[in-house]
């Protein structure tokens, strides 16, 4: 019988179940037993970690078409290093560890797809690290909005950002909610986004990320601030 990769990732079967999550529901929690991997069919999700002093940080955004919980394949008894939760309503295929490993050994199409996923995830993680080390918080916010709106993906589409709070955006770029609010209002004033309950991203926002081009000077400095602009990498 011919193996159909698309059908395998779209339907339930032996060791595979379809799960539906509402926004904020968790696929799994940090520290829980990692015995399954999830393939996100529809929706958007995020990975968050909590430190020992109960500080939470968002470390990754997950679009449809990606796997989450890959640590479950590392070894028996592994635990999840982060919490995966839905940003929007999500549908995912939950694949038990043993079934995923078995099919990867038997079907090269799945193992090749999974290898490509790991490489892309690794490159994205490296890009995120460079972004945190060298870019201003304003450019980091612009990049996150472009990623959330799936800018650059093939096909004509409206570039809307899924519902996300300013607190979450602040966690993701490593700044405060008040600074995110300031930057968002500034983006809207410059015509880079539409922001009225929901965020729509315009192509001109790419200039912020690619060219660091603004119509105003000193974008990092809120009005009335007496503090000098903080250089990237020193905050």
Say yes or no: 167 and 107 in one domain.
no
How far apart are alpha carbons 214 and 217 in whole angstroms? Answer: 7
- Domain containing residue 50: CATH number: 2.60.120.10
Three-state DSSP class for 218? coil
The tokens describing 233, both together, are 């990498």
Among candidate residues 143, 145, 158, the one with its CA nearest the CA of residue 210: 143
Say yes or no: 17 and 88 in one domain.
yes
Tens digit of each residue's pLDDT (9 = 90 or more) over 109-138: 999 999 999 999 999 888 888 888 888 888
Say yes or no: 96 and 139 in one domain.
no
Tens digit of each residue's pLDDT (9 = 90 or more) over 66-107: 999 999 998 888 999 999 999 889 999 999 999 999 999 999
Say yes or no: 156 and 114 in one domain.
no
Q: What is the pTM of this model?
A: 0.76
CB-CB contact of 62 with 68 (8 Å): yes
Domain that holds residue 95: 5-125
H or E segment to which residue 83 belongs: strand 83-86
In a domain, 227, yes or no: no
How far apart are alpha carbons 104 and 108 in whole angstroms? Answer: 7
For the chain, the domain total comes to: 2
In a domain, 218, yes or no: no
């Amino acid at each position: 019988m011919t193996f159909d990769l698309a059908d395998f990732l779209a339907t339930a079967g032996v060791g595979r179940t379809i799960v539906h999550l509402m926004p904020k529901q968790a696929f799994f929690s940090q520290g829980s037993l990692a015995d399954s991997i999830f393939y996100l069919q529809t929706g958007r999700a995020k990975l968050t970690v909590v430190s020992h002093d109960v500080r939470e940080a968002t470390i990754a955004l997950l679009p449809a078409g990606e796997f989450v919980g890959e640590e479950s394949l590392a070894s028996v008894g592994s635990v999840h290093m982060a919490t995966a939760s839905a940003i929007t309503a999500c549908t995912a295929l939950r694949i038990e560890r043993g079934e995923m490993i078995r099919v990867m050994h038997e079907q090269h199409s799945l193992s090749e797809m999974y290898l490509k996923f790991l490489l892309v995830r690794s490159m994205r993680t490296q890009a995120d690290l460079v972004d945190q080390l060298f870019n201003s918080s304003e450019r980091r916010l612009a990049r996150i909005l472009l990623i959330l709106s799936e800018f650059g993906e093939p096909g004509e589409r409206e570039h809307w950002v899924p519902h996300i709070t300013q607190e979450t955006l602040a966690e993701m770029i490593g700044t405060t909610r008040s600074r995110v609010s300031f930057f968002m209002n500034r983006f809207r004033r410059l015509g880079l986004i539409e922001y009225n309950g929901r965020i729509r991203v315009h192509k001109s926002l790419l200039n912020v990320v690619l060219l660091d081009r603004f119509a105003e000077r000193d974008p990092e400095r809120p009005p009335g601030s007496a503090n000098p602009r903080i250089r990237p990498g020193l905050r």
